[in-house]
């Protein structure tokens, strides 16, 4: 079975600070990896995804993530956060052979102070 | 193109009452999912469907039933609601083609309170 672990439950940053949110997964086979964001009162939307190829993927709003296969990690980064990045962030993994089912991490709440 | 819609947005039930949550998508996606979101627990998969007329259990299926009679609709039923089912319910569909391959598209959620 696949599982996802997000290390930080709540992160508080000031505007312009750099962000890195940790995500580790456990699964021995080929996976697709995702980061979703949920802004207050809204539904989840995709930030970025990794399927194959370049392990550094860029998403919307200046976010990027790096897949490190040897560490089973897919950490999310942003060089300079804005107040509007305040949201909950979910890492998700989908085993390629698992009928399209994704396993989500518990989420990380990011609060950016203006 | 409305994407994924959910009905209702909010609902309050008494213990033992029943209700059905409706999810509709207009993107012709084969796969559809029902999740529940609880504080500190992320999203947990309740049931899913890989096509019209098919359903399967997810991680937390007990107390819920689903039906997928039409490709665009995925219904989640609670036969006898319990306070433990107080949660926010999200429906999602998955694209298996094109640039959004394997991406899940989420509905706006239904906030359910069971008293």
Note the pLDDT tens digit of each residue in B84-111: 999 999 999 998 777 667 788 999 999 9
| Residue B66 Cα, gap to closest chain A Cα (Å) | 16
Q: What is the pLDDT of residue A76?
A: 97
Residues with Cβ < 8 Å from B18, sequence gap 6 or more? B77, B78, B79, B80, B81
Counting residues of chain A whose pLDDT is more than 70, the rounded percentage is 96
Summarize pLDDT for A60-98 with one digit per residue, the tens. Answer: 999 999 999 999 999 999 999 999 999 999 999 987 766
Confidence check: pLDDT of B113 > 70: yes
Instruction: Give me the residue from A44, A90, A100 closest to B50, CB to CB.
Output: A100
Q: What is the pLDDT of residue A99?
A: 64
Confidence check: pLDDT of A103 > 70: yes
The whole-number average pLDDT for the span A11-32 is 92
Q: What is the pLDDT of residue A59?
A: 93
Nearest CA in chain B to A8: B40
| Residue B22 Cα, gap to closest chain A Cα (Å) | 16
Task: Tell me which H or E stretch contains A57.
Answer: strand A56-58
The whole-number average pLDDT for the span B39-65 is 92
Chain B environment of A100 (Cβ under 8 Å):
31, 48, 50, 94, 96, 102
Task: Give the residue with greater pLDDT, B84 vs B39.
Answer: B84
CB B90 to CB A43 under 8 A?
A: yes
The whole-number average pLDDT for the span B27-52 is 92
How buried is residue B74: exposed, middle or buried, by Cβ count under 10 Å (0-12/13-18/19+)? buried
CB atoms within 10 A of CB B99: 6
Using the Cβ of B61 and the Cβ atoms of chain A, whether some distance falls under 8 Å is answered with no
CB A32 to CB B42 under 8 A?
A: no
C-alpha distances out from residue B7 to A51, A61, B64, B76, B104, Å: 33, 30, 16, 11, 19
Evaluate whether A86 touches A40 at the Cβ level (below 8 Å): yes
Q: Which letter does DSSP use for residue B72 in this model?
A: T
Q: Which letter does DSSP use for residue B40 in this model?
A: T
Chain A environment of B31 (Cβ under 8 Å):
100
């Amino acid at each position: 079975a696949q599982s996802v672990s997000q290390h930080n439950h709540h992160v508080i940053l000031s505007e312009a600070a750099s962000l890195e949110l940790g995500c580790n997964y456990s699964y021995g086979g080929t996976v697709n990896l995702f980061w979703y964001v949920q802004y207050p009162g809204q539904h989840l939307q995709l930030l970025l995804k990794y399927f194959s190829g370049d392990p550094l993927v860029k998403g919307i709003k200046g976010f990027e993530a790096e897949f490190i296969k040897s560490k089973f990690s897919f950490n999310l980064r942003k060089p300079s956060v804005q107040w509007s990045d305040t949201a909950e962030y979910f890492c998700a993994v989908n085993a390629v052979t698992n009928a399209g089912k994704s396993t989500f991490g518990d989420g990380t709440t990011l609060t950016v102070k203006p | 193109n409305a994407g994924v819609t959910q009905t209702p947005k909010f609902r309050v039930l008494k213990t033992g009452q029943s209700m059905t949550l409706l999810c509709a998508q207009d993107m012709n996606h084969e796969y559809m999912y029902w999740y529940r979101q609880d504080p500190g627990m992320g999203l947990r998969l309740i049931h899913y469907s890989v096509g019209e007329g098919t359903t399967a259990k997810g991680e937390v299926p007990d107390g819920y039933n689903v039906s997928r009679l039409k490709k665009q609709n995925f219904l989640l039923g609670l036969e006898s609601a319990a306070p433990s089912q107080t949660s926010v319910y999200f429906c999602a569909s998955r694209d298996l083609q094109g640039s959004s391959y394997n991406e899940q598209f989420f509905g706006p959620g239904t906030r359910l309170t069971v008293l």
